[in-house]
Amino acid sequence: MKIKTEELRKFLTVAGQIKLNPTATNLDIIKIECTGQEIIFTKTNNNIWCKYSYACQPNAPEAFLINERLLNGVILTTKEYEVDITEGIDDTIQIVSGEDIVKTAKQDIKIFPVIQESKGDKAVISKEAVERIRIASKYKSNAINRTAMNFVQIGLDGIFAANGSILYYHNTFPLPEVFFDEEPLNIMRSGDDMFYWTSDAYDFFQSEGFTFGFIKSFVKALPYLQILQQSGNEWFNCKREDLIDFCTLVQYSKRQENPEATFASINEKVLLLKYQDKDFNINVSRNITIESNAPVLDYNFNVEQVAILLKTLPYQVLKFTRIPNGHYLVTTPEDEAYKGIIARLADKNN
5/193 Cα distance (integer angstroms): 25
Q: What is the pLDDT of residue 260?
A: 94
Calculate the CA dihedral of residues 130, 227, 241, 302 and round it to 10 degrees.
-110
CATH assignment at residue 240: 3.10.150.10
Same domain, 132 and 48: no
- Residue 117 within a domain: no
Of 53, 77, 111, the one marking the end of a domain is: 111
Same domain, 220 and 155: yes
At 103, is the secondary structure helix, strand, or coil? strand
Q: What is the pLDDT of residue 29?
A: 97
Q: Are 179 and 148 in contact (CB under 8 A)?
A: yes
The DSSP 8-state label assigned to residue 35 in this structure reads -
Same domain, 24 and 85: yes
348/260 Cα distance (integer angstroms): 10
Angle, helices 5-15/68-77, rounded to nearest 10 degrees: 130
- Residue 153 within a domain: yes
Q: Among 85-94, 184-193, 244-253, 341-350, which stretch is predicted with the lowest mean pLDDT?
A: 341-350
- Residue 236 within a domain: yes
Same domain, 12 and 96: yes
Q: Put residue 160 in one of left, alpha, beta given phi > 0 → left and psi -120 to 50 → alpha.
A: beta
Q: Compare 7 and 218 and report the one with higher pLDDT.
A: 7
Q: Among 78-82, 160-164, 220-224, which stretch is predicted with the lowest mean pLDDT?
A: 220-224
Q: What is the pLDDT of residue 174?
A: 87
Q: What is the arithmetic mean of pLDDT over 294-315?
A: 96
Q: Compare 102 and 350 and report the one with higher pLDDT.
A: 102
Which residue range is the domain that position 249 belongs to? 230-342
When pLDDT is cut at 50, 70 and 90, the band that residue 183 belongs to is: confident
Residues 142-180: b if buried by 16+ CB within 10 A, e if exposed:
eeeeeebbbbbbbeebbbbbbbebbbbbbebeebbebbb
- Residue 116 within a domain: no
- Those residues whose C-beta lies under 8 Å from the C-beta of residue 103, and which sit 6 or more positions away, are 88, 92, 93, 94, 95
Same domain, 195 and 250: no
Within 10 angstroms of residue 15's Cβ, the number of other Cβ atoms is: 22
User: Amino acid identity, residue 205?
Assistant: F
When pLDDT is cut at 50, 70 and 90, the band that residue 347 belongs to is: low
pTM of the model: 0.87
| Among candidate residues 344, 278, 338, the one with its CA nearest the CA of residue 131 | 338
pLDDT at 43 over 50: yes
Q: What is the pLDDT of residue 119?
A: 65
Q: What is the pLDDT of residue 350?
A: 43
211/204 Cα distance (integer angstroms): 7
Q: Are 1 and 32 in contact (CB under 8 A)?
A: yes
Calculate the CA dihedral of residues 142, 147, 151, 153 and round it to 10 degrees.
-150
Q: What is the pLDDT of residue 220?
A: 85
Same domain, 211 and 308: no
Same domain, 219 and 198: yes
pLDDT at 35 over 50: yes
**Between the CA of residue 255 and those of 234, 278, 280, 281, 318, what are the distances in Å?**
33, 11, 8, 10, 29
- Residue 349 within a domain: no
Same domain, 338 and 279: yes
Number of compact structural domains in the chain? 3
Within 10 angstroms of residue 82's Cβ, the number of other Cβ atoms is: 17
Averaged pLDDT score across all residues of the chain? 92
pLDDT tens digits, 133-153: 999 999 999 988 888 999 999
Q: What is the pLDDT of residue 346?
A: 76
Same domain, 105 and 132: no
pLDDT tens digits, 228-283: 999 999 999 999 999 999 999 999 999 988 899 999 999 989 999 999 988 889 99
Same domain, 127 and 182: yes
Same domain, 327 and 239: yes
pLDDT tens digits, 188-223: 877 788 999 988 788 999 988 899 999 888 888 888
In percent, the amount of the chain with pLDDT more than 70 equals 98
Q: What is the pLDDT of residue 118?
A: 64
Same domain, 175 and 249: no
